[in-house]
Amino acid sequence: MSLQPAATMLICSVFSATAAATEWIVDNDHSRLGFIATYDGVGLEARFEHFEARIRFDPQHPEEGVFDVVVDITSVNSDSADRDEGMLGLEWFNAKKFPQARFVSTGFRQTGAGAFEVAGRLTIKGITHSIGLPFAWSGVDNGARLKGKTILQRTDYKIGIGEWESDPIIGFEVEIVVDLHLKGKH
C-alpha cells in the first residue's frame, strides 16, 4: 500500500510527457448530478438536468486529470415544481443572481483499486470552498463510469439563510451525488 502509490507516481512522472489523459464526453441521458437533502429527517433527492462537464482522466495517470464542471442551478429537479421554485429563491440558491455553480479540480490521487479522490474548488452562490470528492472509476464497454459522493454543509455556501440558517428542519448536511456515464472523445 505504501509503496504502490509512490511507484505509480514515479512511473507516471516518467511517462507523463507522452501519455495524454483521455478526454471524455458525458452521456447526459444516463448521467446524474444531484444531491440528497433532508426534510424533517427524511432524504429528498434532487438532480440538475443541465450541466457541462469537461472531464480529462486516465486511471493510469490520475494526476493529469482535469475536471471542470459548470452546473445550471435553474435546472434543479426534485419532482416537485413548488419546491424547485422555492429552492431557486433568494434564501436558497438565489439563482437569479447566481445561476451557475462550478467545480474545478486542483488535484487527484488514487486511494485504492479503481478508487480515486479529486480535490477541487467548488463555487456555489458565489462562495468558493475547497472540497474533496472520492469517486470510483470503472471502464465499461467503450466508455467509463464515474461514481462519487461527498457531504457538504449547506450553510458553508449560505444555502438557506435567515431562519433556515439555524433551523435543522432542512438538514445542514447535504450529500452530493455524482454518477456520470462517459464516452471517449475521438
Q: With binding defined as CB under 8 A, does residue 88 bind other proteins?
A: no
Of 48, 38, 33, 39, residue with least CA distance to 78: 48
Of 3, 18, 40, 142, the residue at the interface with other proteins (CB under 8 A) is 40
Output DSSP code: residue 73: G
- Looking at beta carbons only, is 33 or 87 nearer to other proteins? 87
Are the C-beta atoms of 148 and 135 separated by less than 8 Å? yes
Give residues 7-26 in contact with other proteins (rule: CB under 8 A): none
Among 167, 173, 184, 185, binds other proteins (CB under 8 A): 167
- As a whole number of angstroms, the distance between CA 104 and CA 168 comes to 30
Best CA proximity match to 123, nearest among 106, 146, 148, 108: 106
Binder among 113, 130, 163, 186 for other proteins (CB under 8 A): 163
- The reply on whether position 78 binds other proteins by CB under 8 A is yes
Q: Which of residues 83, 145, 147, 149 is near other proteins by CB under 8 A?
A: 83
Q: Are strands 32-39 and 42-48 parallel, antiparallel or unpaired?
A: antiparallel
Q: Is 98 in the site for other proteins (CB under 8 A)?
A: no
94 binds other proteins (CB under 8 A): no
Question: In 73-126, which ranges are E strands?
Answer: 76-77, 100-112, 115-124
For other proteins, the binding residues (CB under 8 A) are 39-44, 78-83, 86, 89, 91, 162-164, 167, 169-170
